[in-house]
């Protein structure tokens, strides 16, 4: 039996406090092939830096878009 393929759409905004833990938990799920698409809504904390650092470690598992707040 093969792994289930899962795509997670994650919206972020100033989420630095729990973001690393959340993303790493998603990436470490067993028996699934996880791909995470993140769109940040103009964070002004360390959210973008955290996303970039994790994406550098998992370029085949995580993609992101940094954009402006659209309300």
Q: Which of 17, 31, 28 is nearest to 62 (CA)?
A: 28
CB 41 within 8 A of CB 12: yes
pTM for the whole thing?
A: 0.89
For 8-31, how does the pLDDT look when each residue is reduced to its tens digit (9 = 90+)?
999 999 999 999 999 999 999 999
For 20-59, how does the pLDDT look when each residue is reduced to its tens digit (9 = 90+)?
999 999 999 999 999 999 999 999 999 999 999 999 999 9
Distance in angstroms between the alpha carbons of the first and the last residue of the chain: 43
Reported as a pLDDT band with limits 50, 70 and 90, residue 3 is confident
Mean pLDDT of all residues in 3-8: 93
Q: What is the pLDDT of residue 70?
A: 77
Residue with tokens 């996880």: 34
């Amino acid at each position: 039996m093969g792994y289930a393929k899962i795509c997670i759409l994650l919206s972020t905004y100033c989420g630095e406090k729990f973001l690393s833990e959340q993303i790493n938990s998603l990436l470490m799920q067993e028996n699934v092939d996880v791909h995470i698409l993140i769109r940040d809504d103009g964070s002004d904390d360390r959210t973008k830096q955290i996303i970039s650092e994790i994406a550098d470690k998992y370029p085949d598992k995580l993609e992101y878009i940094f954009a402006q707040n659209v309300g």
